[in-house]
Amino acid sequence: MPLTVEQARLVTHSYAQISIFPHSYSELFYHRLLLNHPFARALFPDDMTHQIFVFSKTIDVLVENVADLPRLRPTLIDLAKKHVKYGVRAYQYAAVGTTLIDTFSEILGEDFTLEARQAWELVYTETAGVMISAAYPES
Ligand code: HEM
């Protein structure tokens, strides 16, 4: 289901606010992920510097293309296939999505409105949906 124009605007606006936050949201996100989901520790390297950077670059691309997410399908399919090789399982996508959105909520507080949260949930559901169906066709 594509985002409405208003949802795309909410995603762009909230991400601009998140990106001027002095602390890297991506670092906070991985901190939360590893704390709350011990399965993730074994998958990632000890030094997360590169991962923190590349993850936020991918979210940048999602936001830049939020008005036309289907355009990213080929990129997301490639990324999903790499994730299979990293040992990632389909069910783990849910934990990543809730952790990302909870991190945004922690940073923005009351500015992260219900509508903004729902718009981000849709971005993540669409993204993870493409990745999961490409990489785990049996699921
Ligand atoms: C929309 C969801 C996700 C995005 C945007 C994303 C993004 C990325 C990116 C950009 C990379 C680097 C890929 C490369 O090597 O070129 C990566 C690697 C990786 N991701 Fe994800 N990822 C997502 C979901 C997940 C999930 C659900 C897990 C499971 C915990 C996960 C675990 C990993 C691991 C283990 C690596 C490799 C780390 C390493 O060995 O360097 N990712 N991810």
Assigned superfamily of 5-135: Globins (1.10.490.10)
- pLDDT on residue 1: 75
Output phi, psi for 3, to 5 deg: -75, 150
Query: What are the structural domain ranges in the chain?
Result: 5-135
Residue type at 103? T
- As a whole number of angstroms, the distance between CA 135 and CA 73 comes to 12
- pLDDT on residue 101: 98
Please state, as a whole number, how many other Cβ atoms lie within 10 Å of the Cβ of residue 104.
22
Model pLDDT for residues 104-127, shown as the tens digit of each residue: 999 999 999 999 999 999 999 999
Name the residue with tokens 């399908």.
73
Pocket of ligand 1 (CB under 6 A): 40, 43-45, 51, 54-55, 58, 79, 82-83, 86, 88, 92-93, 96, 127-128
Model pLDDT for residues 39-91, shown as the tens digit of each residue: 999 999 999 999 999 999 999 999 999 999 999 999 999 999 999 999 999 99
Mean pLDDT for all residues in the chain: 96
- pLDDT on residue 2: 86
